[in-house]
């Protein structure tokens, strides 16, 4: 699969297969994302140890933050 940084590039990653402008009852978009997308909610800790040292890791993350509460 083409990915960021590859010679193939990302390719088309967002399109609108159904559109009200084309007679569909609703707009329906499709977005293609690699499976790795969204996996690093603790991303700063992958680069900066002081984040983990300060207790900012997935073990202490309040899951309500991820759900918009």
pLDDT in tens, 3-12: 666 677 667 7
Query: Rounded to whole angstroms, how far apart are CA atoms 69 and 59?
Result: 18
Please determine, for residue 37, whether its predicted confidence score (pLDDT) is greater than 80: no
Query: Rounded to whole angstroms, how far apart are CA atoms 17 and 26?
Result: 10
CA distances from 22 to 26, 39, 41, 48 (A): 10, 36, 38, 49
List of residues 6+ apart from 12 with CB closer than 8 A: 32
pTM attached to this predicted model: 0.42
What is the rounded average pLDDT of the residues 29-48? 75
């Amino acid at each position: 699969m083409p990915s960021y940084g590859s010679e193939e590039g990302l390719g088309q990653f967002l399109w609108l297969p159904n559109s009200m402008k084309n007679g569909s009852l609703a707009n329906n978009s499709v977005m293609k994302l690699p499976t790795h997308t969204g996996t690093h909610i603790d991303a700063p800790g992958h680069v900066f140890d002081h984040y983990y040292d300060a207790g900012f890791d997935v073990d202490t993350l309040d899951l309500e933050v991820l759900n918009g509460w």
